[in-house]
Amino acid sequence: MVRIVSIIFLVILIFSCNLKEKIFQTSPDGKVGIALVLTDSSTPAYKLSINDKTLIDTSCLGFDFAGIDDFNSNFKITGIDKNSFSETWEMPWGERRYVENNYNQLSIDLKHKPTKIKLKLVFRIFNDGVGFRYEFPEQKAVSELIIMDENTQFNLTGDHTCWWIPGDWDIYEHLYNTTKFSEIDALSKRNHPNLAQTYIPENAVNTPITMRTEEGIHLCFHEADLTDYAGMTLKIDPEKLIMTSELVGSEITGYKVKRTLPFTTPWRTIQISENATGLIGSNLTENLNEPNKLGSIPWFHPIKYAGIWWEMHLGKSTWDISGSQDSNSFSPDSETPSSRHGATTENAKRLIDFASENNIGGILVEGWNTGWEHWIGFEDREGVFDFITCYPDYDLKEVVRYGKEKGVELIMHHETSGAPRTYEAQLDTAYSLMKSLGIHTVKTGYVGNIIPVGEHHHGQWMVNHYQKVIETAAKYNIAVNAHEPIKATGKRRTWPNIISREGLRGQEFNAWASDGGNPPEHLPIIAFTRMLAGPIDYTPGIFNIKLKPYKPDNQVNTTLAQQLALYVVINSPVQMVPDLIEYYEGHPAFQFIRDVGVNWEQTLALNGEVGDYVTIAREERETGNWFVGSITDENPRMINLKLNFLTKGETYDATLFLDGADAHWDKNPTSYKIEHLTVTNSSDVELNLAAGGGAAISIIKTNPEIE
Ligand code: NOJ
Ligand code: CA
């Protein structure tokens, strides 16, 4: 009897050892590990370790489907597969030319015993983190699934420090909060400084959310390849230290996602780094997207662009021709309202002249088309815009012609006022017009509630709309810079005509936010949170920091030198040069904006801590020149910069745009100085950043090779 029992015990032991071994996989460097288990209730769950230490504890996986009792337990494993993958792919534009994509994969086939529904879980383990997703193959048991919610857990192993924004279903334009995980209280953030109330149904956060453990490990939770699915927020359990996926829903359909099989969910991602800067160096999100579907897109070149834009945010001019939409704006008595329309042919030509003289490749013109009299708060009229009819004082063809003569492209503007159906009905007409004029970039906008009310910006319906815009635009050789967008999830790899987007509190908040604008720590947080998702249209470069005389009660909360540094710190292939021309003309510091690149061979995050400071160096494609940006929060800081990334044997002229000795983001923001140095790769530079300050450096080869 004893023998039989011990044989059975041995068999169980051998079987469980094998199983355990089979469902464990590490990253190529062996540091990150994933283990898959079935819990006592036969619920699939994963565990994540770094250097053999548990970082994410047993976290369950499952779904609530309409019409199915329980899809969270009662599974059996029917297959296990492991393989490895390694490639280098090229970015047509971006923060680096070549991206390494190396991972080990672990796939588990599961069968849900009560319903016989088959499901595959796929984990990709990289040196810089993990991505996993659910795959529902075509099968007899089911042909369509209605997801009421996805129950993906992230079971944290400590009360980490978190940088988070609330899980708003419509807008990501919230200030980041810095709290312990157990102190996250998203519901207290429902009141937005400029929108009455935003839609935040649960104590949930949006992604990316960045965390730091007590040991100094940095984590960022996000998603990759968000396609035909709802955006994911993460519900917070402050006591158990668990986050659970909470998909964005719709009051119209009552469900979160509806899909026909076969389908796969977006990847749930966890970026991991032993220091903060390692997060910036990671392209895990892009690596989890499909390769480029468009091939080369010679019609899009990264550019800087000026605009008829900031003047409206300052209230100096208006989007609409009657001036009626701007009650609290700057309006000198002597001017008649109609003279304040910004988008006139004359104004656009003035801007084109300025751009062509200053190495700025494009101009954006907002307020050019009819409808702006009714652009906010008219939800009962579905769509107040068309995208071809100009106001009478704006001659679109003439502006394009003049721009071409001067080598400056027009960036089209399509504000939809939250009416995607109206926009979709006009996409072909609007893009045909652009194509006929040779316009290759559009900035889109989705201000206000989505019409129909009940759909949300981040739900499946809108995810599909944003995708339709991208695919239609691609057919017309058009690149898209979306405002009020869906979050970036690395799709720029597949669709390189997704060039940039907003999806954060941009510079514009400094012109009109009633809460004092973006604080000095804003960008040192953004660099390690929102920016990990993808390029940002932030619109740096305001020189008239105090916004006088237009907005005497508002201001930009950085020094002028930090505004320059942001052209390097912020990743985007389109960078705005937004201030009014008169603040740039004749200003010595404007030279940095003229010179700075927008398309990069490589990017190095040299130093930084989340929310405190960051220094980034980028090498420009084609020229081999380098640009460095360093920014700090409200604390002054000394940064020791080693230029050992420069090419050995090469000599460079460095121009340093620095905070003046008495600079301070509030007390003296425009104090700056310019220094010149000859540098090599053995040079060291000491940068003294003021409170809310920064430093911007251009490092130009002394003897550029003649190509
Ligand atoms: C909000 C956008 O963020 C801003 O850039 C734009 O000027 C307005 N909407 C109008 O479209
Ligand atoms: Ca700080």
Handedness of CA 163, 569, 284, 502 (dihedral sign): positive
Residue nearest to atom 6 of ligand 1 (CA): 445
Residue 605 Cα, ligand 2 centroid: separation in angstroms? 18
Judged by its nearest atom, the ligand closest to the C-alpha of residue 500 is 1
Distance CA 47, CA 483 (A): 37
Residue 337 is predicted with a pLDDT of: 47
Average pLDDT over residues 491-499: 98
Taking CA atoms, 251 is separated from 159, 228, 329, 379, 484, in Å, by 34, 18, 36, 16, 20
Per the structure, the count of domains in the chain is 3
Residue 364 Cα, ligand 1 centroid: separation in angstroms? 11
**Domain for residue 386, yes or no?**
yes
Query: Which atom of ligand 1 is nearest the CA belonging to 415?
Result: 11
Query: Which atom of ligand 1 is nearest the CA belonging to 309?
Result: 7
DSSP state letters, 210-253 = EEE-TT--EEEEEEE---SS--EEEEEETTTTEEEEEE---TTT
| pLDDT reading at 1 higher than 90 | no
Does residue 481 share a domain with residue 333? yes
15 by Cβ neighbours in 10 Å (0-12 / 13-18 / 19+) ranks as exposed
Among candidates 206, 223, 126, 225, which has minimal Cα distance to 162?
206
Judged by its nearest atom, the ligand closest to the C-alpha of residue 484 is 1
User: Mutate which of 385, 483, 501, 576 to test ligand 1's pocket (most atoms within 8 Å of Cβ)?
Assistant: 483
Residue 339 is predicted with a pLDDT of: 73
Judged by its nearest atom, the ligand closest to the C-alpha of residue 521 is 2
Q: Are 629 and 569 in contact (CB under 8 A)?
A: yes
**Domain for residue 230, yes or no?**
yes
Distance CA 191, CA 615 (A): 33
Does residue 661 share a domain with residue 610? yes
User: Mutate which of 192, 447, 481 to test ligand 1's pocket (most atoms within 8 Å of Cβ)?
Assistant: 447
Handedness of CA 440, 445, 451, 457 (dihedral sign): positive
Does residue 488 share a domain with residue 531? no
Average pLDDT over residues 7-17: 43
pLDDT tens, residue by residue, 160-172: 999 999 999 999 9
Residue 706 is predicted with a pLDDT of: 53
Q: Which amino acid is at 143?
A: S
Please give the residue range of the domain that contains residue 342: 304-503
Residue nearest to atom 2 of ligand 1 (CA): 483
**% of the chain surpassing 70 pLDDT:** 94
Does residue 594 share a domain with residue 534? yes
Average pLDDT over residues 232-259: 98
Among candidates 616, 591, 614, which has minimal Cα distance to 605?
616
User: Mutate which of 194, 308, 366, 449 to test ligand 1's pocket (most atoms within 8 Å of Cβ)?
Assistant: 366
* Residue whose pair of structure tokens reads 């709290």 in the numeric block: 179
Q: Which CATH number is 129's domain given? A: 2.70.98.10
Residue 380 is predicted with a pLDDT of: 84
Does residue 318 share a domain with residue 404? yes
Query: Which atom of ligand 1 is nearest the CA belonging to 313?
Result: 7
Residue 521 Cα, ligand 2 centroid: separation in angstroms? 6
User: Mutate which of 192, 508, 509 to test ligand 1's pocket (most atoms within 8 Å of Cβ)?
Assistant: 508
Distance CA 641, CA 655 (A): 14
Of the three residues 480, 503, 526, the one that is the final residue of a domain is 503
pLDDT tens, residue by residue, 75-89: 999 999 999 999 999
| pLDDT reading at 301 higher than 80 | yes
Does residue 264 share a domain with residue 123? yes
Residue 220 Cα, ligand 2 centroid: separation in angstroms? 18
Residue nearest to atom 3 of ligand 1 (CA): 483
What is the distance, to the nearest Å, from the Cα of residue 220 to the centroid of all Cα atoms in its chain? 13
Alpha carbons within 13 angstroms on the beta-carbon side of residue 680 total: 5
Among candidates 417, 346, 431, which has minimal Cα distance to 387?
431
Judged by its nearest atom, the ligand closest to the C-alpha of residue 614 is 2
Residue 379 is predicted with a pLDDT of: 81
Q: Which amino acid is at 626?
A: W
**Domain for residue 153, yes or no?**
yes
Distance CA 341, CA 337 (A): 8
Taking CA atoms, 229 is separated from 59, 64, 255, 464, 608, in Å, by 22, 15, 11, 8, 35
What is the 3-class SS of 265-300, one letter each residue? CCEEEEEEECCHHHHHCCCHHHHCCCCCCCCCCCCC
Does residue 63 share a domain with residue 212? yes
Distance CA 247, CA 436 (A): 40
Average pLDDT over residues 423-448: 98
Query: Which atom of ligand 1 is nearest the CA belonging to 413?
Result: 11
Residue nearest to atom 11 of ligand 1 (CA): 415
Q: Are 210 and 279 in contact (CB under 8 A)?
A: yes
Q: Are 280 and 527 in contact (CB under 8 A)?
A: yes
And the tokens for 326? 């701007």
- Which contacts qualify for 194-201: CB closer than 8 Å, 24 or more apart? 194/509, 194/512, 194/513, 194/514, 195/171, 198/166, 198/168, 198/170, 198/171, 198/174, 199/168, 199/169, 199/170, 199/456, 200/166, 200/167, 200/168, 200/169, 201/167, 201/169
**Domain for residue 546, yes or no?**
yes
Taking CA atoms, 103 is separated from 124, 270, 284, 490, 696, in Å, by 6, 14, 10, 17, 36
Which residues have C-beta within 8 Å of that of residue 672, sequence separation ≥ 6? Answer: 559, 560, 561, 589, 657, 658, 659, 660, 663
Residue 330 is predicted with a pLDDT of: 41
Task: Give the ranges where 358-513 is alpha helix by DSSP (H).
Answer: 396-406, 420-437, 460-475, 508-512
* Confidence category of residue 324, pLDDT binned at 50, 70, 90: low
**Domain for residue 183, yes or no?**
no
Cβ atoms within 10 Å of 376's Cβ, excluding its own? 13
Judged by its nearest atom, the ligand closest to the C-alpha of residue 523 is 2
Q: Which CATH number is 574's domain given? A: 3.20.20.70
Residue 201 is predicted with a pLDDT of: 94
Query: Which atom of ligand 1 is nearest the CA belonging to 445?
Result: 11
| pLDDT reading at 19 higher than 80 | no
Does residue 397 share a domain with residue 367? yes
Residue 632 Cα, ligand 2 centroid: separation in angstroms? 8
Q: Can you give the pTM of this predicted structure?
A: 0.96
* Confidence category of residue 378, pLDDT binned at 50, 70, 90: confident
Residue 540 Cα, ligand 1 centroid: separation in angstroms? 15
Q: Which amino acid is at 56?
A: I
Does residue 327 share a domain with residue 228? no
Among candidates 247, 224, 218, which has minimal Cα distance to 148?
247
And the tokens for 351? 């801007």
Task: Examine the residue annotation and report whether 508 is marked as an active-site residue of this protein.
Answer: yes
Ligand 1 pocket: which residues have CB below 6 Å?
Answer: 309, 366, 415, 445, 447, 483, 502, 508
What's the CA angle centered on 96, arms 90 and 101, to 5 degrees? 55
| pLDDT reading at 20 higher than 80 | no
**% of the chain surpassing 90 pLDDT:** 91
Residue 623 Cα, ligand 2 centroid: separation in angstroms? 35
Residue 82 Cα, ligand 2 centroid: separation in angstroms? 43
Query: Which atom of ligand 1 is nearest the CA belonging to 319?
Result: 10
Q: Which 3 state secondary structure label does DSSP give 581?
A: helix
Does residue 78 share a domain with residue 112? yes
Quick one: which H or E segment has residue 364? strand 362-365
Judged by its nearest atom, the ligand closest to the C-alpha of residue 319 is 1
**Domain for residue 408, yes or no?**
yes
Residue nearest to atom 10 of ligand 1 (CA): 415
**Domain for residue 4, yes or no?**
no
Residue 174 Cα, ligand 1 centroid: separation in angstroms? 16
Among candidates 190, 191, 193, which has minimal Cα distance to 201?
190
Distance CA 47, CA 157 (A): 11
246 by Cβ neighbours in 10 Å (0-12 / 13-18 / 19+) ranks as buried
Q: Which amino acid is at 415?
A: E
Among candidates 473, 456, 346, which has minimal Cα distance to 411?
473
Among candidates 168, 288, 220, which has minimal Cα distance to 528?
220
DSSP state letters, 406-447 = HT-EEEEEEE-TT-HHHHHHHHHHHHHHHHHHT--EEEEE--
Which residues have C-beta within 8 Å of that of residue 296, sequence separation ≥ 6? Answer: 92
Residue 223 Cα, ligand 1 centroid: separation in angstroms? 26
pLDDT tens, residue by residue, 616-668: 999 999 999 999 999 999 999 999 999 999 999 999 999 999 999 999 999 99
Ion ligand 2 — residues with CB under 5 Å?
A: 521, 611-612, 633
And the tokens for 101? 């994509």
Q: Are 221 and 230 in contact (CB under 8 A)?
A: no
| pLDDT reading at 598 higher than 80 | yes
409, 484, 508, 619: the active-site residue: 508
Does residue 494 share a domain with residue 537? no
| pLDDT reading at 22 higher than 60 | yes
Query: Which atom of ligand 1 is nearest the CA belonging to 483?
Result: 3
Cβ atoms within 10 Å of 67's Cβ, excluding its own? 9
User: Mutate which of 316, 325, 415 to test ligand 1's pocket (most atoms within 8 Å of Cβ)?
Assistant: 415
Q: Which amino acid is at 562?
A: Q
* Confidence category of residue 8, pLDDT binned at 50, 70, 90: very low
Does residue 311 share a domain with residue 274? no
Residue 178 Cα, ligand 2 centroid: separation in angstroms? 9
**Domain for residue 638, yes or no?**
yes
Of the three residues 470, 503, 536, the one that is the final residue of a domain is 503
Residue 328 is predicted with a pLDDT of: 43
| pLDDT reading at 334 higher than 80 | no
- Backbone dihedral angles phi then psi of residue 452, each to the nearest 5 degrees: -75, 140
Taking CA atoms, 530 is separated from 72, 280, 477, 502, 565, in Å, by 31, 11, 27, 10, 18
Residue 17 is predicted with a pLDDT of: 42
Residue nearest to atom 7 of ligand 1 (CA): 309
Of the three residues 454, 480, 503, the one that is the final residue of a domain is 503
Question: How high does pLDDT run on average in the chain?
Answer: 94
Please give the radius of gyration of the chain, using alpha carbons only, rounded to the nearest integer: 26
Query: Which atom of ligand 1 is nearest the CA belonging to 506?
Result: 3
